[in-house]
Amino acid sequence: MGINRPLGHRLFLVPLVAIVGGIVLSAIDMANARTLATRPNAPDDEAAWDSVYQVLTSPRCINCHTATNYPQQGDDRRRHVANVIRGPQGKGVAGLNCASCHQEQNSDATGVPGAHGWHLAPLSMRWQDPNDQKLSSSAVCRALTDRAKNHGLDGPGLLKHHQEEALVLWAWNPGRRPNGTARSRPPLTHEQFVSATRHWVTAGTPCPKSSESR
């Protein structure tokens, strides 16, 4: 018995639709696979930012990224000697400017650190709270990426800052303490820090959610 024409068409279309659908789904899967293969995944992005955060909140950085009216010093982040205060531009006050003691380079003879343009970071770039506790990872990330607070720096600008800024570079060449011992450095090399920053910037400077912050 022959199959009537409408029924035959339907029987023919069913496997055809399945085949076409399978091809489309395979193409979508392949496209997704290519995207995942060429895009840094979220765990890697988070690890990159976490590396950046560990450096930013190390003593060599956070001592000048304070929430106080004065800089800190030492790995214990104690108040700066001589009652030094922030001043209107973060460079101290008349008679006690930062540059009065902090020259263009370290003075190992006296133990006074130095680098070009020595000054405190603005309060908008503080990495600690008024109780001297480190800000959470998410809070630091939000401040760092807020162009209203960071002098208008976008991702590439932040990368360049971490690569070239004299006071950033100083953290890896911090000189010696007055007792002659070497100051500690950040937990990463400068090359590792720049590499982590570059990865994070390439990913779009993602910040961890507040609930995920420390």
DSSP characters over 59-70: HHHHTTS-SSSS
Q: pLDDT tens digits, residue range 147-176? A: 999 999 999 999 999 999 999 999 999 999
The residue ranges of DSSP E strands in 43-163, in sequence order, are 72-73, 78-79, 92-93, 96-97
pTM for the full predicted model = 0.79
DSSP secondary structure code for residue 9 in this structure: H
Higher pLDDT, 34 or 69: 69
User: From CA 102, how far away is CA 119, in angstroms rounded?
Assistant: 9
Find out whether 34 and 19 touch, Cβ atoms under 8 Å: no
Worst-scoring range by mean pLDDT, 14-18, 121-125, 133-137, 197-201? 14-18
Q: What is the pLDDT of residue 43?
A: 78
Question: For the chain, which residues make up each domain, given as ranges?
Answer: 1-35, 42-212
Mean pLDDT, residues 42-52 taken together: 92
pLDDT tens figures, 102-140: 999 999 999 999 999 999 999 999 999 999 999 999 999
